Structure 1
Amino acid sequence: HAPQYPNAGKGLDMGLLEWLTTFTTFPTEVKFKDLDFAAHAYKRVVSRVLRNGTTTACYYATIDTDATVLLCDIINELGQRALVGKVNMNQNSPDYYVEGSVDESVSETRRYIETIQKKAYDNITPVITPRFAVSCCETLMKKLGDLAAEYNIPVQTHICETKPEVEYVAQLYPDSKNYATVYDKAGLLTDKTILAHCIYLTKEEIDLITERGSSVSHCPNSNLSLRSGLLDVQNLLKHGIQVGLGTDVSGGYHPSIIDAIRVAVHVSNAHAITSTNGYTPLSMRDAFKLATLGGAQALSIDKKVGNFEVGKEFDALIINLDIENTHVDVFEEDTLDDCLDKFLYTGDDRNIEAIYVAGRKILDFGLKQTST
């Protein structure tokens, strides 16, 4: 959540629904209607996410169309690859931060999509972004599903993040069998849909998501920080669901995908500790794959990026483990595999010497922009 970055590390003693409404999130997001504020904040978050090694990000913006377009402009200027969505929310939201009607929400979303398409940025894709089923009525969700089909673009939203949220959705939509069915009825479960969290999916929901070809963004730091729960990634992978990693800033307090890798392993280890049936946790290599090829598969861009297969675009980090004053110490007996493990467990942005997106060096050590 790009507009939540100013709150990273704040308010995490609360649960999700309280955290959204009473302390930090919505009061901060509404500030982005001021384009000067938005420009200042968005430049900082995109720079920070890039500096921590994320070559491709899937961003939620705010309900404000012009500020979301500005975010895309900044991402393009800094050279990141991104999917970006103008958020939709027309119910169960604060009076000061809500769209006035279904028609307004849909027309502004259409304006956003067409504006970005006219700009024809090489590496930015607009995304349909209903915040979650609590904040969007059935009519709005159905019309957003229609827009996704009309423009053939991805969808992103949240699902089954906390138990109270799941219970609330059941009260709001009693005619739907479960949370996933709410989205499916609206045409929002497609093979280009990215579902954040997914902690409390039922077996029926997992089967439906598998059938539709939708993917999952696992946000382990956020899930622990807000005490939402522990996602069983291995179960989703067993069912053939594509899974990538997310930071979910500012529910997750850290902007680094490296942190997401580590915490994903810790969450999986917790499942192994409490399991009684020989559970096999994610290895560090498994989590590394979720952050690279797995993320590309989840975003349906794996034919273009995700690994170093010949013919794909060169998205890469140049890592230096010999930089002084970092947490990584390499010894003579360490193999290349050992060095990768050491970086993933103990390295940070100081070890990232350069970042490439689509073959272009966009950052070098010290955050200087360059071009090749």
Structure 2
Amino acid sequence: MPTVYRGTIVHTKSFNEFESFKEGFVAVEDGKIIGIGGDYDNWLSTSKINADLISEVRLSRFQFLSPGFCDGHIHAPQYAQIGLGMSVPLLDWLNTYTFPTEAKYVDKEFAQKIYRSVVEATLRCGTTLASYFATNNLESTLILAEEAARQGQRALIGKVCSNCNSPDFYVETTDESVRGTEAFVAAIRKLNNPLVLPTITPRFALSCSMELLQKLGNIAKQYDLHVQSHISENLTEIEVVRDIFKTSYANAYDDAGLLTKKTVMAHGVHLQDDEIALLKKRGTAIIHCPASNTNLNSGICDVQRLIKAGLTVGLGTDVSGGNSVSVLTALQRAIEVSKHLDFFKKQNILGTGRSETQDNDYQQLTYKQAFYLATLGGAKALALDHITGNFSVGKDFDALLVDVSVLEKPHRPLTVDELLEKFIYTGDDRNIKAVYVAGKLVKGTV
């Protein structure tokens, strides 16, 4: 039986194309979108659907329907240490906090507890699609995949691979990593759940030999799989990678066949122009992680530079380098970082004259552009925009029912733009009344 959601509808069609309907509708049948627009009566008359068979959900004046959020980069096991170690740089943070935490996931009971919690938390915050790093451990990584499937979240799951430059208690041999990855891919496919897919996951170039990177690239090519990793996050990390591979960070991955149209690389803070050109040529996307870039003292990513160069960009919480599982928080931080970058490029500090890096042509991210990064941009980065990311007819109905009046009722009626803006700047998970994945209500109530 078709369901029609009637009220304010918002989504994006591209980075600069925001579409909304004040008195609109989205029609859904068998989890798929079969209609969207501002003229429900006209659609109904031409759709040949019996109106008596339609179930209606009517939104209030302070509610709107939005595509679900996409978290393009999140470390599920690090949820156990979220909010810790935010005063140290990346490599120290990994050795002091992260590697010891991730090594604990040989304990299946511990893994079950944390992975249940992180999927619950991300769904509560409106994440309908997540690209998860797990750990080196195969069995617990499968627990994460099974938990995402059980709770109905759309997810890419990766067994992390690292065979060098890691602590003795948390490192694999090349053969162990390759065999574990192949076994993981086979196990995920055996789940036969269209919402949960495997993704090849070298931790980062620094922790993998070229032999391992190449073998992972071969697996990705053989099975046409997604790939995820990190790139150019921290200046010290970049220098270590260059010393090891005698080439740029991007070239190291490319030499292994890991830069593809189904690859996402987190961060990209310090990418050189030739690296950006290579990523564009390969169709590889960047996941912007503004909270983590700040918390771990990595730097400021100029997202507008990447987008103007033709790269696809999505957003990531990067828990636990990021201190929140909420993509809405990442969206807010992305806007703030863009504003700060604008200040740096344009301000003229009294008595110092013009800065050598002054750029008066720089444009801040608008909240609508940031909303794109959090929805369709993320889906496109993960090469799943043919399935999700907006309300185009034929896509799965992955959606949020948002109510901006939950915390405090606005004192006057709001326009469509104001509803979205208010949610972005003042909202949290309490404003998300319902979460749908492939048409199924997976969190909240209507």
TM-score range with shorter-chain normalisation? over 0.9
Alignment partner, residue 97 of structure 1 = 170
2:377 maps to 1:294: yes
Which of 138, 141, 144 in structure 1 is aligned with 2:213?
141
Q: Identify, as 1 or 2, the structure richer in strand.
A: 2
Q: 1:21-32 to 2 correspondence within 5 Å?
A: 21-22=95-96, 24-32=97-105
- Aligned alpha-carbon RMSD (Å): 1.0
Take 1:133 and 1:298, find their aligned partners in 2: how far apart are those partners?
A: 20
Aligned: 1:156 with 2:238:
no
- Whether 2:177 is the aligned partner of 1:88: answer no
Q: After the TM superposition, which segments of 4 or more aligned residues of structure 1 sit over 4 Å from their partners?
A: none
What's 2:92 paired with?
A: 18
How far apart are the structure 1 equivalents of 2:337 and 2:425? Answer: 15
Q: What TM-score comes out, normalization by structure 1 length?
A: 0.95
Shift of 1:335: 1.4
AA in 2 matched with 1:145: G
Aligned length: 359
Q: Deviation per CA, 1:59-87, whole angstroms, max 9, x where unpaired? A: 00000011111100000001100001000
What TM-score results when the alignment is normalised by the length of structure 2? 0.79
1:331 shift after superposition = 2.5
Q: Select which of 412, 416, 419 maps to 1:332.
A: 412
Q: Which residue of 2 aligns with 1:38?
A: 111
- 1:330–1:339 Cα contact (<8 Å) kept: no
Which residue, out of 247, 266, 282, partners 2:365? Answer: 282
* Counterparts of residues 72-221 of structure 1 (less than 5 Å): 72-99=145-172, 101-174=173-246, 176=247, 178-221=248-291
**How far apart, in 2, do the equivalents of 1:118 and 1:335 lie?**
47
1: CA distance between counterparts of 2:109 and 2:187?
20
| Shift of residue 329, structure 1, vs aligned partner | 4.3
* 1:243–1:298 contact (8 Å) kept in structure 2: yes
C-alpha contact 1:82 1:125 (8 A) present in aligned 2: yes
1:267 corresponds, among 333, 337, 358, to 337
Q: Which of 121, 127, 134 is the aligned partner of 1:48?
A: 121
Distance 1:144 1:179 in 2: 17
Cα distance, 1:119 vs structure 2: 1.3
Partners of 1:194 and 1:288 in 2: CA distance: 19
Assess if the C-alpha contact under 8 Å between 1:63 and 1:87 holds in 2: yes
Paired AA for residue 191 in structure 1: K
The alignment status of 1:243 with 2:310, answered yes or no, reads no
Q: Is the 8 A contact 1:218 1:245 kept in 2?
A: yes
Say which structure, 1 or 2, has more relative contact order (CA 8 Å, 6+ apart). 2
For the pair shown, which has the larger CA radius of gyration, 1 or 2?
2
Structure 1 SS opposite 2:435? strand
Q: Give the deviation of 1:239 after TM superposition.
A: 1.2
Which string of whole-angstrom CA distances, capped at 9 and with x for unpartnered residues, describes residues 121-162 of structure 1?
Answer: 120110000000110000000000000001100110001001
Gaps of 5+ in 2: 1-74, 346-357
> In the alignment, which of 419, 425, 445 is matched to residue 345 of structure 1?
425
**Residue 89 of structure 2 corresponds to residue 4 of structure 1:** no
Identity among equivalent pairs (%): 48
Matches of 2:146 and 2:80, distance apart in 1: 19
SS at match of 2:92: helix
**Whole-Å Cα distance in 2 between the matches of residues 118 and 79 of structure 1?**
17
Q: What are the ranges of 5 or more consecutive residues in structure 1 without an aligned counterpart? A: none
Aligned to 2:20: none
